[in-house]
Amino acid sequence: MSSDQLRGQARDYYETKLRAHGPTPAGVDWNSQESQELRFALLATLWRDEADASILDYGCGYGALADYLRARGHRGGYTGYDVSEAMAQAAHARVAALSGCQVTARREDLRPADFAVGSGVFNVKQEADEDTWRAYVWETVADLAVLGKRGFAFNALTSYSDADKRRPDLYYADPLEAFDRCKRTYSRFVTLLHDYPLYEFTIIVRRSPLAWPSS
């Protein structure tokens, strides 16, 4: 299966969810707004309190991250990208009233932002085999790295999930492999977050270290 085919099946899967549930957390296959916003909060540690940093939301769904950011005083530019035209249209309608926000379904429209994030884009492999999907995941992470000038972040379901709770259509990534690969490939400054109450983890990659307050 090619990367284009994998993107196509992901598009079809999420458009089915959008038709069934509308522009809601369920419409992007999350089980609650609370879990969705917890993921946003973890990703936002990438830029901490930099209210003017530009953000690229890779796999933006219906644009909920833009609302989350603006509600918390973030002023920097927001670009949402989704391979689904229907999802991008829903996101555009949602962010139209928010200043500095734009959405596209075309990868060629994207320009690097300060920070790029991907939330939930690696979870649903459907019929793809593990090796094919894993290669697709790392191809996408490489794209996030290109698009985040100062850093990038993503989350994934964890291979530490209970065996009896796993689904065959989902992909469970090895968090230790993800940390090691990002550390060796992209930056010395990598954080693995695996201490929150979801069956997943978050990887934060910065191009430079955090500025710690002086004592």
Kindly report, residue by residue over 139-179, the tens digit of the pLDDT. 999 999 999 999 999 999 999 999 988 999 999 999 999 99
pLDDT digits (tens, 9 = 90+) for 28-73: 989 899 999 999 999 999 998 899 999 999 999 999 999 999 999 9
**Residues contacting 129, CB < 8 A, separation 6+:** none
CA atoms within 13 A on the CB side of 18: 20
pLDDT of amino acid 210: 76
Task: Kindly provide the residue ranges of all beta strands, DSSP E only, lying in 39-126, ordered along the sequence.
Answer: 55-58, 78-81, 101-104, 113-118
What is the average per-residue pLDDT within 75-89?
A: 96
What is the average per-residue pLDDT within 115-139?
A: 95
Residue 148, phi then psi, degrees to nearest 5: -105, 100
pLDDT of amino acid 24: 94
Q: Which CATH architecture has domain 3-206?
A: 3-Layer(aba) Sandwich (3.40)
